[in-house]
Chains A and B, each alone.
Chain A
Amino acid sequence: DTAVSQTPKYLVTQMGNDKSIKCEQNLGHDTMYWYKQDSKKFLKIMFSYNNKELIINETVPNRFSPKSPDKAHLNLHINSLELGDSAVYFCASSRTDNTEAFFGQGTRLTVV
């Protein structure tokens, strides 16, 4: 079983569209995250949710809106997609009393 799974794995879309990326974890973790890895391979945290509540919101355009329907899911919705949004987006999860985070396999988003 995949611990942290993201869908879709690849997403190609046109500028101006709205798209969502889904993330699910079956580890029983209570904290989930979204990271963005740009073309230069720099990995940067975007959001963190703990028990369905937003606890970290780094400097991210408000076109990006995370939604957590329950502890096992953290979806990322992006409005009005721009060329600069092209990147690999990683979902991750952890327990608040644990030391390591588990990452999904990533979603490669290409905006054309």
Chain B
Amino acid sequence: DAKTTQPPSMDCAEGRAANLPCNHSTISGNEYVYWYRQIHSQGPQYIIHGLKNNETNEMASLIITEDRKSSTLILPHATLRDTAVYYCIVRVYNTNAGKSTFGDGTTLTVKP
């Protein structure tokens, strides 16, 4: 699996958009970008994934650059409950969905 690089921490004001960047410059053509988050003392939670097109679901949006070397997870209206560690993972689609290499992630703190 390709290595990812994320900033260690970010702050965001409640109600504003949180934009979390991820670099994955060695991503292979068959690898997808996945995002998980881990709220304190809970198990990781799947957020979204994508290959090359931008994706949106009820939780977030994922913007992947045209060269696929980086991506941004967007939480459109961050709430205090979005405070968590966010993990960007790249892996081949549908191969052992749970076998993910989690890096250090980004600790997002949403402030009132």
Contacts and interface: CB of A to CB of B under 8 A. Distances in A.
Interface of A: 4, 31-33, 41-45, 48, 50, 55-56, 90, 92-106
Given A43-B44, A90-B44, A92-B43, A56 B94 contact: no
Interface of B: 32, 34, 38, 41-46, 49, 85, 87, 93-94, 96-102, 104
A92 B102 CA distance: 14
Overall SS of chain B's interface: loop
Given A99-B49, A101-B46, A106-B42, A31 B96 contact: yes
Contacts of A98: 94, 97
Contacts of A97: 94
A105 B43 contact: yes
18 contacts: A4-B43, A32-B98, A33-B99, A48-B96, A48-B98, A50-B96, A93-B98, A94-B96, A95-B97, A96-B94, A96-B97, A99-B49, A100-B97, A101-B44, A101-B97, A101-B100, A102-B46, A104-B43
